[in-house]
A and B are shown apart, each in its own frame.
Chain A
Amino acid sequence: KAGVTQTPRYLIKTRGQQVTLSCSPISGHRSVSWYQQTPGQGLQFLFEYFSETQRNKGNFPGRFSGRQFSNSRSEMNVSTLELGDSALYLCASSLEPGDSNQPQHFGDGTRLSIL
């Protein structure tokens, strides 16, 4: 059974550009969450999607957005990139949304570097 797949693995952009990251969850998993990981802030929750609807959102500006497709694949978009957006972006999937005690399976992440 394939794990969570994130593409691309590495990305280099310049300030002001926009970027789209992709996440394919484990087959059968319908909930997808996104996290930002940086050395200074650690791991921070961005948002969670289920049934093509954003279910929960973290404390990030509106430049960060996402969506989920009918096959549960999800994309995350960041517009007007800033240097501080350089980070490892992790996607995690779970069977169903629900309590935070439900196990999440993480992808290997997309490392975004802003020049």
Chain B
Amino acid sequence: AQSVTQLDSQVPVFEEAPVELRCNYSSSVSVYLFWYVQYPNQGLQLLLKYLSGSTLVKSINGFEAEFNKSQTSFHLRKPSVHISDTAEYFCAVSEPGGYQKVTFGTGTKLQVIP
């Protein structure tokens, strides 16, 4: 069975500072990896995903994540955060197959401090 661990439940960071949200996973097969963002009182939005190919994936709003197979990690980074990045971020891992195979992490709340 697969699992995903988000090591930090909350991450406070000052505006314009860099941030890294950590995600580690375990699986016995090849997986897909995702980061979702959830703003207050809203549903999840896909931020970026790794399916195959280049291990570095980027979103349109400056976030990036790198798939590291040897360390079974998929950490999310941004070089300079904005107030608007305040939200909860979920890492997810999935084996090929239907959506029932997607396992979500417990989330990391990113709080950007002005």
Which residues of A does B touch, CB under 8 Å?
A: 4, 33, 42-45, 48, 55-58, 90, 92, 97-101, 103-104, 106-109
Contacts and interface: CB of A to CB of B under 8 A. Distances in A.
Nearest to A88: B43
A67 B45 CA distance: 24
B41 A108 contact: yes
B96 A100 contact: yes
Nearest to A91: B43
Interface of B: 32, 41-46, 49, 51, 90, 94-102, 104-107
A107 B42 CA distance: 7
Contacts of A97: 98
A99 B100 contact: no
A55 B41 CA distance: 28
Contacts of B97: 99-100
Contact of B95 (A33, A44, A100, A109): A100
A103 B104 CA distance: 15
Contacts of A43: 44, 90, 104
Contact of B44 (A45, A99, A106): A106
Contacts of A109: 42-43
Nearest to A97: B98
Given A4-B43, A109-B43, A104 B99 contact: yes
Contacts of B44: 43, 90, 92, 106
A100 B100 CA distance: 8
A55 B99 CA distance: 10
Contacts of B42: 108-109
B100 A57 contact: yes
Contact of A42 (B43, B99, B105): B105
Nearest to B42: A108
